[in-house]
Amino acid sequence: MYLHFGGVDEQAWVYLSGKPVGEHSTESTGRSIDVLWKEPFGVDVSRHLRAEAENVLAVRVHNAARMGGVWKSVHMVFSDMPLDPKRQREAVILLTTPTQ
């Protein structure tokens, strides 16, 4: 299971039940905040989910300039194979595009 973030302004750290499970920061990506804020990203949380306990999700956002926060949709993406962020985004598009 992936959590796919459409956009977080600017840096984000993701925790599941108090434990860090992923981040999208200048340190983890090597990118500047000018790029990070509009870049989609995903976090694989499948190894951290616990069936026997409540799972609590927290997202810490650091904003250094102007407005900030989670500003685009967040989706849960389920897959039986590993997905890079591009494939996660493709799955979200497929799931959220209306059919006729």
- Rounded CA-CA distance 92/74 in Å is 9
User: DSSP readout, the chain?
Assistant: -EEEES-EESEEEEEETTEEEEEESHHHH---HHHHTT--EEEE-TTT--TTS---EEEEEE--SSS-EE-S-EEEE--SS---HHHHHHHHHHHHSPP-
pTM of the predicted model over 0.75 = yes
Tens digit of pLDDT per residue, the chain (100 long)?
Answer: 999 999 999 999 999 999 999 999 999 999 999 999 999 999 999 999 999 999 999 999 999 988 899 999 998 888 888 888 788 888 887 777 776 6
**Amino acid in position 100:** Q
The pLDDT of residue 15: 98
Beta-carbon count within 10 A of 12 CB: 23
CB 89, CB 79: distance < 8 Å? no
Domain range summary for the chain, segments of one domain joined by + = 2-96
